[in-house]
Amino acid sequence: MNNIIKSITLTLTSLAAGFIAITIPFNLIGTLSKEAMHIVFISEIVIYFSVAMIFLVASDKKKQQEIKSNERHKERRRKIEEVKKDWIDIAA
């Protein structure tokens, strides 16, 4: 239930942000000069690129942490098996 609420909230927020991001430049076309519109579009592109890079960096960091965690778990399993083997050898 909690995941459904999160998904709905994320979807609505994304739709609202996308709608605002598209409508603002179109509403400014008639009010701003040509140079000002160039600045608005360039700044929009820079903002979109920056947000995309933040998401990519966060995704890559999450993948690296997952890989590190898996390696740590594999090392722990190996050590546990080694200890079990040593105890069996000692008991024999």
**Pair 52, 80 in one domain:** yes
**Pair 62, 40 in one domain:** yes
**Pair 47, 73 in one domain:** yes
The pLDDT tens digits for 25-77 are 778 777 888 888 888 889 888 988 998 999 999 999 999 999 999 999 999 99
Nearest one of 43, 48, 42 to 17, comparing CA atoms: 48
The pLDDT tens digits for 1-33 are 788 998 999 999 999 988 888 888 778 777 888
**Pair 17, 45 in one domain:** no
Give the Cα separation of 13 and 43 in Å (integer): 21
Tell me which residue range forms the domain holding 59: 33-92
The pTM of this model reads 0.55
Band of residue 92 on the pLDDT scale cut at 50, 70, 90: low
**Pair 75, 63 in one domain:** yes
Please determine, for residue 79, whether its predicted confidence score (pLDDT) is greater than 70.
yes
